[in-house]
Structure 1
Amino acid sequence: MDPRAAEIFRERGIEVHEKPGLSPEEQKAIIGEYDGLAIRSSTKVTADMLEAATNLKVIGRAGIGVDNIDIPAATAKGIVVMNTPFGNSITTAEHAIALMFALARQLPAADASTQAGKWEKSKFMGVELTGKTLGLIGAGNIGSIVAARAQGLKMKVIAFDPFLTPERAIEIGVEKVDLDTLLARADFITLHTPLTDQTRGILGRDALSKVKKGVRIINCARGGLIDEEALKEGLESGHIAGAALDVFATEPAKENALFGTPGFISTPHLGASTTEAQVNVAIQVAEQMSDYLLLGGITNALNSPSLSAEEAPRIKPYMGLSGNLGRLVGQVLGEEIDSIAVEVEGAAAELNITPISGAVLAGLMGSYSDSVNMVNAPVLAKDRGLDVSEVRHAHEGDYHTLVRVTARLKDGNKCNVEGTLVGNANPRLVEMFGVGVEAELTGPMLYIVNEDAPGFIGALGSTLGDADVNIATFALGRRNIGGEALALVAIDSEPSEKLLDALRAIRGVKKVVALRFD
């Protein structure tokens, strides 16, 4: 890691320890002390290590590839995983172009021959890049940079990428094609995709059998995208004219079946190895992690919605409000909930709704599980089969800003709670299940449903007084005179089961639930 990363952490007031070269056992032994972990590609963050990471909140990968991090395990523990996808993009794209030139003109072999005292000019007949078709497998950030450079070389660029929209293809000047079409048409193929279950072996034996004769293949992305044995066979048969790999299925690649194969060029994972890239990714990972740990900002996260450091202070009160609304719904309705809808109105509709929705889920799922936050709450909700939707209303209703959480129950009924911010900072519940109830959700509370009748408030106060429980705040609302009423009572101590039973025994009481808000 470039020293600038540690400097930035210290400048931001974060204590940082630099510990390169630790074994997995040594890493696991100390990881419990840390709130953040900044790594490069050689550190393997396994589920076993994460079990010991009792305080870890964020992992920052200085670079783009995150296959060395067990993201599902990190997500389950509520740990944000970030990378720096743009810091080494130009460097990696330039390396791919450099390898393309090296293949086209056989530069490594020509250099070795010439320096050996030979002058084999006729042996190293090359090909021009101008007018050739370049096939991109992956047209994201790095792929689009390669496309721009190739177009400057007067190459025709085609791309296979399931996530590439027709509009984006036009914008970056490429023709979107399916994989088989790319294999059949491309004179050069370069890969720029992460290693996932879907992309592993994307250039396997079957795909390599379909490539255009004389194709040249470059991989500066991840090892494992290409079947190396099948590639060797293609090179030896002459069907594939050349291949240049910067990455391998097993690294460090000190031995490989491809080594020594005619037409093969290799480099030791140099895609991001420029002075500029090393500094850029170090700066970015330190800034991103500092923003998260100090301000709550989330940038380039792989398992959490983005929330810029500039947005975070403005959204933070909404997240507190939303978390409490989700917690309220979860504690009152519990296992009855089938789906959740999060709606925002007025000023809230101008904000990034995803963190607000995430906070609702974190509050809701915190009613069922321990150690829940915005990172793992969506996964926990999905595991429970909960559908989640988001709705934005630009209009302003009775309140200048409003968050509404509607829970659909398994019996088909819907129940909603609504909240606003007083002074754009202080969360307030303003409606609960169709009844206007203004309350601050804080500490231990009691939720009581009762018949609207004289004497209830007195009986409630007496019962709490007899149990030596003091009332902090009291909010009451009713649907109509003599109908159903709701009470939210903040108390100074946790209610005992004996007290809850006594409250349920009060005449006209239909339901009593003990609530807790941190």
Structure 2
Amino acid sequence: MTKPKVLISDKMDPNAARIFEERGCEVDVITGKTPEELKEIIGQYDGLAIRSSTRVTQEILDAATNLKVIGRAGIGVDNVDIPYASAKGVVVMNTPFGNSITTAEHAIAMIMSLARQIPEANELTQKGEWPKSKFMGVEVTGKTLGLIGAGNIGAIVASRALGLRMKVIAYDPFLTPERAVEMGVEKVDLETLVTRADFITLHTPLTDETRNILSRERLEKCKKGVRIVNCARGGLIDELALKDLLDSGHVAGAALDVFAEEPAKENPLFGTPNFICTPHLGASTTEAQVNVALQVAEQMSDFLVNGGVTNALNMPSLSAEEAPKLKPYMALAEKIGSLVGQLAHGDLPKISIETEGAAAQLNQKPIVGAVLAGLMKRFSSSVNMVNAPFLAKERGIEVREVRNENQGTYQTLVRVTVATSAGDRSVAGTLFANREPRLVEIFGIGIEADLDGRMLYIVNDDVPGFIGRIGSLLGEAGINIGTFHLGRRETGGEAVLLLSVDQPIPADVIARAQELEGVKMVKALTF
């Protein structure tokens, strides 16, 4: 079996390469390549491990013909075109927790530096001025810290601030009351936070909703004398407004580790009194650099070797422990989705994916993704679980998930129902011996069949002699039948024939089969 091949294109801890090798991957460490040089070599790799230097653009992704996963050693993925990677079926991962403590500690250091004006005092003291009377700081004890973003890093900042005897209030749309109590913070809305906080620190990603979350209007609503810290992402604060409010004294101090434009060689805030800045050092500790490098190597190896998906930004997570259990279900789901896709006519405005029995107790997202991957192959041959949901959304397909943990006729069942002009049509399958995918129902007709290789699907009237006629037709055409599966609604009613064949079925044979007496539909299938 060929080992997956990984390229490390940015400098990172050398132990990352060792982990890739120990876990069954080949790895090349080639850093400092220009985009053109990277395009020349990227086509031979299954995985790409990066930090912030490599930019994974559309041009790079077009050249990466074998690429399956991109791993970012760190949180920010601004240097990866995630929508285009998703369209190409490439998983994008990051390591959101490897530098959490480091970033949180940097935010606390910024708070303390603002409170005691340490950078400016240090500069003047070293110039021999001994400016003791010039600096009058404030205590953080008893002050209110406002957290904008109460995720992993925000929670660590809160715990450190509580240890400094600060009162912590937090705004985060995803923060539950129970989690707020657990963290020891008071949950508030954003407008309340900006009017009450003595210090404000931001710990949220940059999205369309969070861009300039501290706008001029909100900054003006802040308590006079507020101090603001941003060690998260540039673009969360209106920098021009912040400068004006620092100049007026409404904002007593600000400390930024990140800027809207980086590297920030020039910025209107530079030189402003009571302004502190660092060059995006939030993750810059020895421990953090080691942690994110090791984590990205572990995550990418698990994906390439075992199918595990951790901290992916464009597909559901699937642990390495879950992967073996879900693998046969995903194979079943993809085959059923493929069958529906090949048999359906016209647009599919709605699709319902139902799991029953044992299947309903599993992680549903990979099963849903596999169904969509099979279904969307009617539109694109390069579809997979990563890009299938995006393709479905682009085509306006409404996807509904249904979970029924009660066991029916079968111990486990996956059913796919699509809305068509003729009404709802459903296909269902199960696993034999918990590992062999098997079709058990098609459009309301019970039929047990493997879905594999080349197959012929026929809907016909249940009349004597039909099986002989179709067998003779295929035999005369030199097509050998592998398996033969029959189902019918009732005696003499509508029947279904699903058979596997060893050779491709020419179009003229399909046409002749369609002309046989009682035949309503003939379709060649491929799995």
TM-score using structure 1 length = 0.97
Matched, 1:39 2:50: yes
Q: 1:410 to 1:64 in 2, by over 3 A?
A: farther
Q: Which runs of 5+ in 2 are unaligned?
A: 1-11
Superposition pairs of residues 284-363 of structure 1, within 5 angstroms: 284-363=295-374
What are the superposed Cα offsets for residues 383-420 of structure 1, whole Å, 9 maximum, x if unpaired?
11111111222222222211111122244x11111111
- Contact 1:477 1:485 (8 Å CA) reproduced: yes
- Contact 1:136 1:189 (8 Å CA) reproduced: yes
Which residue identity lines up with residue 460 of structure 2 in the other structure?
Answer: N
- Contact 1:336 1:410 (8 Å CA) reproduced: no
What are the superposed Cα offsets for residues 266-294 of structure 1, whole Å, 9 maximum, x if unpaired?
11111111111111111110010001111
Q: Partner of 1:469 in structure 2?
A: 479
| Partner of residue 49 from structure 1, selected from 60, 72, 85 | 60
Which residue identity lines up with residue 295 of structure 1 in the other structure?
Answer: N
- Contact 2:111 2:229 (8 Å CA) reproduced: yes
Secondary structure at the aligned position of 2:179 is classed as helix
- Contact 2:448 2:485 (8 Å CA) reproduced: yes
CA–CA distance in structure 2, aligned partners of residues 493 and 213 of structure 1:
80
Which residue identity lines up with residue 91 of structure 1 in the other structure?
Answer: T
- Contact 2:201 2:228 (8 Å CA) reproduced: yes
Q: Which runs of 5+ in 1 are unaligned?
A: none
Which residue identity lines up with residue 166 of structure 2 in the other structure?
Answer: M
CA–CA distance in structure 1, aligned partners of residues 347 and 315 of structure 2:
27
- Contact 2:356 2:406 (8 Å CA) reproduced: yes
Aligned length in residues: 516
Q: Partner of 2:26 in structure 1?
A: 15
Which residue identity lines up with residue 39 of structure 2 in the other structure?
Answer: K
Secondary structure at the aligned position of 2:517 is classed as coil
Offset at residue 217 of structure 1 (A): 0.7
CA–CA distance in structure 2, aligned partners of residues 210 and 493 of structure 1:
74
Which residue identity lines up with residue 439 of structure 1 in the other structure?
Answer: A
Offset at residue 477 of structure 1 (A): 0.5
Matched, 1:505 2:518: no
| Partner of residue 201 from structure 2, selected from 190, 195, 200 | 190
User: Greater CA deviation, 362-371 or 501-510?
Assistant: 362-371
Q: Partner of 2:489 in structure 1?
A: 479
Matched, 1:85 2:67: no
Secondary structure at the aligned position of 2:112 is classed as helix
What are the superposed Cα offsets for residues 77-115 of structure 1, whole Å, 9 maximum, x if unpaired?
111111111110011001000110000011111111222
Aligned-residue RMSD, C-alpha:
1.2
| Partner of residue 164 from structure 1, selected from 172, 175, 188 | 175
Q: Partner of 1:514 in structure 2?
A: 524
Matched, 1:262 2:273: yes
Q: Partner of 1:456 in structure 2?
A: 466
Superposition pairs of residues 64-75 of structure 1, within 5 angstroms: 64-75=75-86
User: Greater CA deviation, 465-474 or 341-350?
Assistant: 341-350
CA–CA distance in structure 2, aligned partners of residues 408 and 53 of structure 1:
37
Offset at residue 336 of structure 1 (A): 4.5
Matched, 1:364 2:394: no
Secondary structure at the aligned position of 1:17 is classed as strand
Matched, 1:416 2:395: no
- Contact 2:149 2:203 (8 Å CA) reproduced: yes
What are the superposed Cα offsets for residues 220-279 of structure 1, whole Å, 9 maximum, x if unpaired?
011111222221111111111111111112222222222221101111111111111111
Offset at residue 206 of structure 1 (A): 2.2
Matched, 1:434 2:444: yes
What are the superposed Cα offsets for residues 112-131 of structure 1, whole Å, 9 maximum, x if unpaired?
12222222112111101111
Superposition pairs of residues 224-235 of structure 1, within 5 angstroms: 224-235=235-246
- Contact 1:334 1:367 (8 Å CA) reproduced: no
- Contact 1:67 1:195 (8 Å CA) reproduced: no
Offset at residue 183 of structure 1 (A): 1.3
CA–CA distance in structure 2, aligned partners of residues 44 and 200 of structure 1:
22
CA–CA distance in structure 2, aligned partners of residues 294 and 30 of structure 1:
22
- Contact 2:338 2:375 (8 Å CA) reproduced: yes
CA–CA distance in structure 2, aligned partners of residues 24 and 237 of structure 1:
45
User: Greater CA deviation, 93-102 or 14-23?
Assistant: 14-23
Secondary structure at the aligned position of 1:390 is classed as strand
User: Greater CA deviation, 66-75 or 390-399?
Assistant: 390-399
Offset at residue 169 of structure 1 (A): 2.1
User: Greater CA deviation, 257-266 or 498-507?
Assistant: 257-266
Secondary structure at the aligned position of 2:346 is classed as helix
Matched, 1:446 2:451: no
CA–CA distance in structure 1, aligned partners of residues 448 and 492 of structure 2:
20
| Partner of residue 503 from structure 2, selected from 481, 489, 493 | 493
Q: Partner of 1:28 in structure 2?
A: 39
Secondary structure at the aligned position of 1:29 is classed as helix
Matched, 1:398 2:409: yes
Offset at residue 425 of structure 1 (A): 1.1
The alignment-based identity, stated in percent, is 69
- Contact 2:429 2:441 (8 Å CA) reproduced: yes
Secondary structure at the aligned position of 1:101 is classed as helix
Superposition pairs of residues 369-384 of structure 1, within 5 angstroms: 369-384=380-395
- Contact 2:24 2:305 (8 Å CA) reproduced: no
Offset at residue 204 of structure 1 (A): 2.4
